[in-house]
Amino acid sequence: MHMAFWSQAAQGKTAVPGIVEVRARYAALFQRLGAGPAAMDFSPGQLGSVAGEWVGAGDPERVILYFHGGGFIAGSPETHRPLVGRLVQASGLNAFSVKYRLAPEYLFPAAVRDGIDAYRALLAKGVQGASVVLAGDEAGGGLAFAVTLAVRNAGLPLPGAVVAMSPWADLSLSGLSMLCNRRTDQMLDWDMLFLAARHYLRKSNPCDAYASPAFAALNDFPPVMVHAGANEILRDDASKLGDRAADANVSVSVEIYDGMGHLFQADSAKKEAHASIARLAQFIRARSSVMAL
């Protein structure tokens, strides 16, 4: 049934439902991300043609290039300040939170192009690839992998690592956790992601590696760390990325936190949130390096 819908939509026989309702659902979800660190610097910025926001006042030679979640159709650096701020605070690095173009105004692969353009601009500023960590949550987590794929295929210097929280990396929604966790996930559901994917992809194949890096060959990738909650519908997306990295003999750590839901890192009252952020920050510090020229 699901694949039939994809086929009909690709042939222009099925109208994609309105964007307003889906964005409203994401807006409600963003409200649950909580507040960011009180004493954190947030300032508008630009990397080449790509707008965004600089976060923190840490090591200027090491950078987290961050991609926010929101199903490729919603969200911004501002909505994800709580998550980015905690990661910056724990790691001691600066971050540039990318304001990539959103669908349906800008369709796939616009977000990927913005990501690699921002990365190219960092390199042009003299930042070493190995000093950059690509990171993101939900759609932004998948995008971090897609941009790394584009970086690799373009022959550019690779980033030091890729990090993702609750990544959405399979836009065909084929993971078993989509069904098994539909009652335990308090933030996302299949319908919400399905509509977001249709607005982003339109006639593109949901299994395209740049849309769904869960289907990509991750050969020659930098080290990978992925965290997800055992109770979320995107649990299997995290596992699939781990499998693809392991298949390619890439250094990978996938951590699934028992009893946790989508983006549990946003809940500062949970000890698991603190543990996850601390683990991610330690990995980011260890995998980003400044080498003498």
pLDDT tens column, 138-170:
999 999 999 999 999 999 999 999 999 999 999
Q: How confident is the model at residue 8 (pLDDT cuts 50, 70, 90)?
A: very low
Give the list of residues 6+ apart from residue 165 with CB closer than 8 angstroms, or none.
83, 135, 136, 137, 138, 141, 226, 227, 228, 263, 265, 276, 280
CA 228 to chain centre: 12
Compute the mean pLDDT over every residue in the chain, rounded to the nearest whole number: 93
Domain assignment present for 55: yes
Is 161 contained in some domain?
Answer: yes
Which pLDDT score is estimated for 263? 97
**Calpha distance 168→142 (Å, rounded):** 5
Q: Does residue 290 surpass a pLDDT of 70?
A: no
Distance from chain centroid for Cα 141:
2
Interval 1-24 mean pLDDT = 57
Per-residue pLDDT reduced to its tens digit, 166-222: 999 999 999 999 999 999 999 999 999 999 999 999 999 999 999 999 999 999 999
**Of 95, 80, 11, nearest to 47 (Cα)?**
95
Strand partners, 254: 226
pLDDT of residue 16: 56
Do the beta carbons of residue 221 and residue 250 sit within 8 Å? yes
| pLDDT over threshold 50, residue 1 | no
131 in helix, strand or coil?
Answer: helix
> Residue 292 falls within a domain, yes or no?
no
- pLDDT, mean of residues 112-131: 97
- Going across the sheet that includes 50-55, the strands are 42-47, 50-55, 93-98, 59-67, 132-137, 161-165, 224-229, 252-257
Count of domains forming the chain: 1
When pLDDT is averaged across residues 105-127 and rounded to a whole number, the result is 97
Tell me the HSE value of 5 on the side-chain side, using a 13 A CA sphere.
13
Q: Tens digit of pLDDT for each residue in 256-277?
A: 999 999 999 999 899 999 999 9
What's the distance, Cα to Cα, between the start and end of the chain in Å? 56
150 within domain boundaries? yes
Coil vs helix vs strand at 255: strand
Res 127: pLDDT: 96
Domain with residue 185: its CATH number is 3.40.50.1820
User: What pLDDT sits at residue 30?
Assistant: 96
Task: State the burial class of residue 34 (Cβ atoms within 10 Å of its Cβ: 0-12, 13-18, 19+).
Answer: middle
Please check whether residue 293 lies inside any domain of the structure: no
Whether residue 226 is predicted with pLDDT greater than 60 in this model: the reply is: yes
293 has a pLDDT exceeding 90: no
Residue 7's domain spans which residues?
2-287
In a domain, 28, yes or no: yes
pLDDT, one tens digit per residue, over 31-77 is 999 888 888 999 999 999 999 999 997 777 899 999 999 999 999 99
Q: Is the pLDDT of residue 23 over 70?
A: yes
274 Cβ contact list (under 8 Å, min separation 6):
268
